[in-house]
Amino acid sequence: MNFSLRTAAFSLALAALSTSGFSQGAVDIGLFQDNGVLEVKVRPEADFSGIFSSLVFTIRWDASTGASLGEPTQDEAAQHVIAVAKSGNVREQGSSNYMVYAGFGMTPMSNHGVNWEAGKEYTIATIPVTGQGEFELVNDGYTAEPNNNANFYAALGGGDRTGTIYHGLAATGDDGSVLIQPNPNNGRFTLSFLNNEKGDVTVEIVNNIGQSVYNETLRGLEGTYKKEMDLSGQSAGAYYVKIKRNGATTTHKVVYR
């Protein structure tokens, strides 16, 4: 039976309603990496010590990387604020993997000596990563579908206080030799990287729904790859450059405005 995460969150929130939540500002969310581990942080717009009643967010990554996400962990303070867990298994759509997380809170944060300060970041969960890739907090066409209902959502005291994704992209094991300049751009940019070990290299660019708009395979490449790319014939938006070399694939976001 399909069961809306937001409906569940709202129902639980009503059971533990904190009237102070209705006067609060929004809660923003960000994704960061620290030594190969993803950190999910929230940032309230106003001071708050009531019930953080519900939270939903989704992380997307390129399925071809073979990377995976482990179970989220939380320190004691974060557990007292809201318990966060995976919501189901990894979901596949096109070339992307999606993992949805949800959390529900039932008691005021102040009961545990936790008081949020406006504009300050708080780590709400830490997620271990196996493999390498770029991971992104997303609201996209897939997460917005009613059956998935997985867009970012935050509620304080039962009231919708969803803010913005202020830092969405976090890379683990990123290859610093890859340069995309300028980025963001007007659809035209220079892609360059080094391939120190001679071998076949595939360069592919896909759009936000996983459709390939450019694909090139170079045989026996060794040394520098540099090419002027032109996406001006495509729609503006987010694109992903996939570089497969030496048995590994890395993914790099490029924004066409």
Interval 25-41: pLDDT, tens = 899 999 988 777 899 99
For residue 188, the model assigns a pLDDT of 96
More confident residue, 252 or 138: 138
Q: Please, what is the average pLDDT of the chain? A: 87
Residue 24 has pLDDT above 80, yes or no: no
For residue 20, the model assigns a pLDDT of 41
Domain spans, the chain: 5-172, 179-256
More confident residue, 13 or 207: 207
**17 confidence band (pLDDT: 50, 70, 90):** very low
H, E, C per residue of the chain: CCCCHHHHHHHHHHHCCCHHHHHCCCEEEEEEEECCEEEEEEEECCCECCCEEEEEEEEEEEHHHCCEECCCECCHHHHHHCEEEECCCCEEECCEEEEEEEEECCCCHHHHCCCECCCCCEEEEEECEECCEEEEECCCHHHHCCCCCCCCEEEECCEECEEEEEECEEEECCCCCCEEECCCECCEEEEEEEEEEEEEEEEEEECCCCCEEEEEEEEEEEEEEEEEEECCCCCCEEEEEEEEECCEEEEEEEEEC
What is the reported pTM?
0.67
For residue 22, the model assigns a pLDDT of 43
Backbone angles phi, psi at 226, to 5 degrees: -150, 130
For residue 64, the model assigns a pLDDT of 83
Q: Name the percent of the chain lying above pLDDT 90.
A: 61
**1 confidence band (pLDDT: 50, 70, 90):** very low
Out of 101-110, 150-159, 193-202, which region has the weakest mean confidence (pLDDT)? 193-202
- Asked if CATH classification 2.60.40 holds for the domain at 5-172, the reply, yes or no, is yes
For residue 11, the model assigns a pLDDT of 47
Same fold, 5-172 and 179-256: yes
Q: What is the pLDDT of residues 190-249, one digit of tens each?
A: 999 888 889 999 999 998 888 899 999 999 998 889 999 999 999 999 898 888 888 777
Q: Tell me the average pLDDT across 89-113.
A: 94
In degrees, rounded to 5, the angle at the alpha carbon of residue 232 between the alpha carbons of residues 143 and 96 is 25
Tell me the CATH number for domain 179-256. 2.60.40.1930
| Residues 6+ positions from 35 with CB-CB distance below 8 Å | none
User: Hunting for tokens 């391939």 — which residue is that?
Assistant: 195
